[in-house]
Structure 1
């Protein structure tokens, strides 16, 4: 094993990049230290812009387990692992188009809280437990383990020496600053590891003679299949039948239901920003195969060249011949080996910085989401319902630390498993995800699903997944010994590929849930109206305020928000039209004219379509100089009022429904927004497969 000897330039790059990220994270945490309430800590005040959402969606997913595990899978089995990323692209768009409106309309903090709104408290408890288990088993421990591999190769540290460094470096600003600190540092870290990733791609292709040289060496080594995306259904690593079924099922959970991802959507200042962030992240997911998988394949090519030449390229340590990248376990170190052996001074420091940033981004996101679930869905909901905001903030910080401890307890289980590390992580996810994905997706799409059906379906599907996962771990050695070439063997139930098992779990969960739904009583419309897709009606153009109760917000006369709240929750409105669009002159009190019809609220509410009652209010924000605005007891999120050509107050209420159906429009938007990404994926797949 090579250990990197960093130059002064590498050390300087490391200090500047990582030191800068750490200082910025601490600064944002310091600014957020006096968070007004738990919403500020867990959801960034529900005021995050689309670029922060898109960057954080992308960065929170790309961790060291990708640079280590996905590159290792590229070295071991080639391009098929890219489909995990390209499948995610259109699912993120699906999150924005179909799931985000429902989540925002429900005005929840966590996915388990949404489960209680839709299905009842029993489902919330079960969903909370499964979400925490999945976060610890498939994400946090995986990032820590992958970070340990990186530090072992580049610094010679063992796993348990690396762990304290990894956790402390990430936990400080996560515990202090909450989601806002996490998301802003995510964006910075994403820029760093994208820059490092593209630099690594260029160096990798230079060392292998470009794509042509890479393909030629693979052909000489008998590894032409490394450049084929589609594999037989019996393939031990990436069966096509599982890729196009089980992978999609598990990915629906990860990208549309998992708290880490959904929390970023819930933090959006509007549905428009949530959707724009999802589209940006969807396109960004086209990049990881280029900056991660291709360098992994390049490392395998350099190893094969050394082995075919048999001389270790004249290097005293045997060169690439000692890397043993033909063994799946050793292939997990493909990218770190590439850095140590091939990258020039400066690039070594940049790539190590990029990997560490990816690790910190993924870990901080998972720490924050796990603490959110524990605090909101367990502590506050069932243990301390009358806890103060300060108590909830401290509970969230302590929960972050406790999550670290639980993740460390799972590390020995990860260590003992053999094979491609990335697929080991996906196997755990594919046993926990299908039941949650099936029940919640069905409940969002079908109004009739009731509380008992959801709970029983989720319990049965989750139990089946956990039992099969336990059996597969117990029979791991026997299953591995039964593999013939690349074909799965051994006892069917114990040795079944995890993607095929995901399909079985999904089908069982679906059958049980539908059966109990059909024999049970449908839930009342008061439950389903705000927690299901509006298939037969839609919201107005500026679609909704995620806050169901009226609230007040200052806007400038040019239509821009200043995000100042007057005794109300932070706004999550869609971008408002400018005051000049309405040109409504309002008296000091009375009825507003010139505003569109709205759904009225409150004690003085009138019939549908009545205009809102307005009164004068004065801002008390320091530095405002007592600016005068207008307060309305009701208005749609697209309403704005004009006063003194200076400022205005807009009030959001329950979203107004339009007459008639709009599902065709919604699906049309989904098709248009995903068409570009899908076309790019298809072109890349065809070019690479049929080159």
Structure 2
């Protein structure tokens, strides 16, 4: 059955009204945050209160890829991946209480800039800047663009790349013009729309099937009629409602899942520019912590707003969402490796009445644009502040602002080129693609920051070569997965043993252990920086500037502004 799109004028009017409203909010925010200078454009003038900080932290993470990916993961295998939402709630608090004080004491705009100050030299800063931009393209921008375009394609029956063009035009417009202030104010508006709309979908879908007990029963019987009953790959898992699954044979073995969703996600929540930049924009430490608490509370919701609706979608539209035949999958969702990614859009477009469908389409657009704008702004910040200033020794503020805006356009083009690989990777399961890419390439960065902040003995050579070794291992595994894709249902397993015997979450943890061992070993045989060189850039030295100053006047003479002094004083009194 072909998914019906938005064909009623009321739905189309609501979507158009939403687009206009978001553009108005973004353009009105141009008056805020002093976007005419670098601090105003990239850090919103550090004037944000806790509400937009928390809303932006949440919406920067929960984008269309989560509505598409979480619902698809729920439809395909159940609730286990919810730990990727629940454990990070505590990591957000760790950012506010532990990591943020060090970043502010170091006085940095970007996370690569912090490593440059912490370790000295330029290679670790340049390497991490280049790597972060590549990671943004393959694990963030391309995924957000693909998932958003998938929904628009289903809703309006448009070509995939025409849908992508519409997304990029709107989001790039107010990101380029307004900077971080525009992004965070529109994020606040879009978060409220997202939550209201998602609650409506969840309530209607539970009502449709008869409640949670009915979900447990009916999900286990949601098997497409177009499959060979001798096969098992098209059936729901018996442990679909279990979070802690078999540690050896489970699709998400519980030891690996717990470690990857906590230690493995440390880099994303505490050491990634997209997230940290929102906290750095807070007007005070209190507002930064308040925003972290709000975001942590909101992270409790995806099980009810995304995963359960995805499972219900499989029940209601089993043949399409749970299809296993490549030809039928191609027909239903234009993707022969599987259609679980259409679970949430299918639910919205089929279940809801006229008007509500338009509203929920607006919800998805909220998620899409909030993710894209956040990544665009953060990526342009990293390129401008960490790389362009290496190319140009003394650029003017006007030049930096122009370069940051042009780089947004470049990121758009590069991300679109990666979209075809996103469509086919990991058997068409979007959330598995995201988490595996980040496990292979992003997780070692968390170990690097953890050791840099808390172990003074960590050296620049250890940081650089530890990260190089980890990324060589991660890229090797990633290339193997692209060369040897997951076999389709019923096909013979022909991949190298390491791909299907060693789960990607276990591989990630072994890679983290290797990173730590390499860094410790090299640090013990290379010269550590002195206490003077480490002033203000570790947990143990974050108050050094205040200790050296007799009063605020002396602090000011040392180049530390009043805002920073008040923040430090707040840290000491908390």
Structure 2 length-normalised TM: 0.88
Give the equivalent residue in structure 1 for 2:371.
Answer: 362
CA distance in 2 between counterparts of 1:209 and 1:651 reads 55
Instruction: Show structure 2 runs of 5+ residues with no match.
Output: 223-234, 323-328
Q: Deviations over 1:272-313 (max 9, x none)?
A: 2111111110111001121111110111121359999xxxxx
Give the equivalent residue in structure 2 for 1:581.
Answer: none
Give the equivalent residue in structure 2 for 1:343.
Answer: 352
More strand by share: 1
Aligned length: 550
CA distance in 2 between counterparts of 1:450 and 1:348 reads 55
Give the equivalent residue in structure 2 for 1:135.
Answer: 136
- Cα distance, 1:56 vs structure 2: 0.3
Conserved 8 A contact 1:148-1:162: yes
Conserved 8 A contact 2:101-2:542: no
Give the equivalent residue in structure 2 for 1:114.
Answer: 114
State whether structure 2 residue 289 is matched by structure 1 residue 284.
no
- Cα distance, 1:36 vs structure 2: 3.6
Give the equivalent residue in structure 1 for 2:281.
Answer: 267
| Among 467, 474, 477, the residue aligned to 1:468 | 477
1:545-584 map, 5 Å = none
Conserved 8 A contact 1:104-1:271: no
- Cα distance, 1:218 vs structure 2: 2.4
Conserved 8 A contact 1:56-1:186: yes
Give the equivalent residue in structure 2 for 1:176.
Answer: 177
Q: Deviations over 1:502-538 (max 9, x none)?
A: 112111111110000111222111233311113xx88
1:611-650 map, 5 Å = none
Q: What do you get for the CA RMSD once the two structures are aligned?
A: 3.2
Instruction: Show structure 1 runs of 5+ residues with no match.
Output: 309-319, 549-597, 602-607, 615-630, 638-648, 667-691
Conserved 8 A contact 2:284-2:567: no
CA distance in 1 between counterparts of 2:411 and 2:140 reads 11
State whether structure 2 residue 434 is matched by structure 1 residue 433.
no
Query: Kindly tell me: are residues 654 and 277 of structure 1, through their superposed partners in 2, closer, same or farther at Cα, counting changes over 3 Å?
Result: closer
Conserved 8 A contact 1:483-1:490: no
Structure 1 length-normalised TM: 0.74
- Cα distance, 1:474 vs structure 2: 0.9
| Among 394, 399, 404, the residue aligned to 2:412 | 404
| Among 302, 307, 313, the residue aligned to 1:299 | 313
- Cα distance, 1:158 vs structure 2: 2.3
Query: Kindly tell me: are residues 332 and 306 of structure 1, through their superposed partners in 2, closer, same or farther at Cα, counting changes over 3 Å?
Result: closer
SS at match of 2:300: coil
| Among 419, 422, 426, the residue aligned to 2:428 | 419
Give the equivalent residue in structure 2 for 1:514.
Answer: 520
CA distance in 1 between counterparts of 2:419 and 2:72 reads 19
1:27-176 map, 5 Å = 27-29=28-30, 31=31, 35-120=35-120, 121-176=122-177
State whether structure 2 residue 453 is matched by structure 1 residue 447.
no
Give the equivalent residue in structure 2 for 1:394.
Answer: 402
Give the equivalent residue in structure 1 for 2:231.
Answer: none
SS at match of 2:240: helix
- Cα distance, 1:19 vs structure 2: 1.6
Conserved 8 A contact 2:6-2:358: no
Query: Kindly tell me: are residues 108 and 135 of structure 1, through their superposed partners in 2, closer, same or farther at Cα, counting changes over 3 Å?
Result: same
1:17-36 map, 5 Å = 17-29=18-30, 31=31, 35-36=35-36
Relative to structure 2, which stretch is displaced further, 63-72 or 414-423? 414-423
- Cα distance, 1:8 vs structure 2: 3.3
Conserved 8 A contact 1:636-1:656: no
CA distance in 1 between counterparts of 2:558 and 2:566 reads 6
CA distance in 1 between counterparts of 2:486 and 2:308 reads 30
Bigger RCO (CA 8 Å, 6+ sep) = 2
